């Protein structure tokens, strides 16, 4: 046996939280679920009464495509409304939040947050004018625990299944659009009492299609924006998320003075 001192065993360096997170992503125990609707000229857009200004559909203008306008590159200009496709509503989007943050001023730390998913797809399938009430949220909390502090409430209605058609998505008749939403009482409760930072929906806006006739009109916009909270609309794939445990990553463009922006919205889900 050789003599002499032996080196002390080297202890493994504990894995940092970020290193463990990266390893979980690489290993597939954390899945990334894309909640974003593809953005194209076919993307449904809200239609306001004709006396009001209308938002623009998404448009691409080709600049060059490996040709004499640019032999080695392909690129485009694009034109769209801030509130087209999957998008983020900033507080200044509504008159009640006129003095609130524009989309560029929203703190980046608020763009990553836990999410609760409340599934009312069966109710919305039976009644396109279905409204979420406080009692529905309380029943969800009784089963799953409280809504996440500074998190998102994601309201699943199955409406993303209609997103391939402007007509089916807006579901309008002579009285106006018919899409599920939130009751005025529930909107006030989410804005003033609930611990969430915002509301996410699958429909064209956070309010119900018939919310123009509510008291007040468009209560989700009025209450949430007025309370400095946010909206996410035209989400997809909420059916792939658990009721609790997902983390939402929301990435709107930081448009200076903008009232909102199309956004890429991702959910991180532990599948271990």
CATH number for 223: 3.50.30.50
Render 175-232 in DSSP notation, one character per residue: TEE---EE-HHHHHHHHHTS--SEEEESSSSSS-TTGGGSSSSSHHIIIIIHTT-EEE
Query: Is residue 8 pLDDT above 70, yes or no?
Result: no
Residue 12: predicted pLDDT:
63
Q: What percent of the chain has pLDDT over 70?
A: 95
* Greater pLDDT, 127 or 11: 127
Q: What is the pLDDT averaged over residues 118-139?
A: 98
Q: Is residue 210 part of a domain?
A: yes
Number of helical (H) and strand (E) elements in the chain, helices listed first: 7, 14
* Residue 150 scores a pLDDT above 80: yes
Task: State the pLDDT at residue 11.
Answer: 66
Over range 49-60, report the average pLDDT: 96
Confidence label for 257 from pLDDT (cuts 50, 70 and 90): very high
Has 93 been annotated as catalytic? yes
The position carrying tokens 């000229």 is 41
Percentage of the chain exceeding pLDDT 90: 94
pLDDT band at 14 (very low <50, low <70, confident <90, very high): confident
CA distances from 144 to 45, 91, 100, 231 (A): 34, 29, 32, 23
Q: Note down the domain range covering 177.
A: 30-55+82-270
How much is the mean pLDDT over the chain?
Answer: 95
What is the token pair recorded at 207?
């309010």
Q: Is the pLDDT confidence value at 6 over 70?
A: no
* 47 assigned to some structural domain: yes
pLDDT mean over 107-123: 97
The per-residue pLDDT for 272 is 73
Q: Of the given ranges (10-24, 58-72, 119-133, 137-151), which has the lowest mean pLDDT? A: 10-24
Measure the CA–CA gap between 21 and 17, rounded to whole angstroms: 6
Query: Is residue 50 a part of any domain in this protein?
Result: yes
In the chain, the largest separation of any two C-alpha atoms, in whole Å, equals 95
Residues in the chain: 272
Residue 155 pLDDT > 60: yes
For the chain, how many structural domains are there in total? 1
The predicted pLDDT at position 9 comes to 65
Q: Is residue 14 part of a domain?
A: no
Catalytic residue among 93, 136, 212, 221: 93
Q: Are the C-beta atoms of residues 194 and 137 closer than 8 Å to each other?
A: yes
69 preceded by a cis bond (ω within 30 of 0) = no
The answer to whether residue 69 sits within a structural domain is no
Distance separating alpha carbons of residues 237 and 269, to the nearest angstrom: 12
What is the model's pLDDT at position 259? 98
Give the mean pLDDT of 137-155: 98
Look at residue 76 and tell me if it is in a domain: no
Task: Examine residue 214 and state whether it is found in any structural domain, yes or no.
Answer: yes
pLDDT, position 3? 57
CA-closest candidate to residue 171, choices 118, 218, 127: 127
Position 10 scores a pLDDT of: 61
On whether residue 13 sits in a domain, the answer given is no
Is the pLDDT at 182 greater than 80? The verdict is yes
């Amino acid at each position: 046996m050789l003599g002499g001192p032996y080196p002390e065993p080297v202890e493994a360096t504990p894995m940092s939280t970020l290193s463990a997170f990266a390893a979980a992503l690489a290993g597939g125990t954390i899945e990334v679920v894309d909640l974003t609707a593809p953005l194209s000229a076919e993307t449904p857009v809200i239609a306001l009464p004709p006396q009001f200004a209308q938002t623009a559909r998404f448009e691409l203008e080709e600049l060059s495509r490996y040709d004499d306008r640019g032999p080695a590159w392909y690129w485009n200009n694009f034109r769209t409304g801030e509130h087209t496709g999957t998008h983020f509503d900033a507080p200044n989007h509504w008159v009640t939040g006129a003095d609130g943050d524009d989309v560029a001023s929203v703190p980046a730390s608020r763009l990553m947050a836990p999410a609760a998913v409340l599934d009312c797809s069966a109710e919305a399938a039976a009644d396109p004018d279905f409204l979420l009430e406080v009692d529905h949220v309380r029943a969800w909390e009784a089963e799953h625990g409280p809504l996440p502090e500074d998190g998102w409430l994601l309201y699943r209605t199955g409406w993303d299944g209609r997103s391939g058609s402007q007509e089916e998505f807006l579901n309008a008749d002579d009285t106006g659009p018919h899409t599920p939403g939130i009751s005025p009482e529930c909107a006030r409760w989410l804005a003033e009492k609930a611990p969430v930072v915002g509301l996410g929906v699958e429909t064209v806006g956070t309010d119900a299609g018939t919310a123009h006739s509510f008291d007040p009109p468009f209560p989700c916009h009025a209450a949430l924006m007025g309370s400095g909270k946010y909206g996410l609309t035209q989400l997809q794939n909420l059916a792939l998320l658990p009721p609790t445990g997902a983390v939402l990553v929301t990435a709107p463009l930081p448009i200076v003075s903008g009232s909102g922006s199309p956004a890429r919205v991702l959910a991180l889900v532990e599948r271990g």
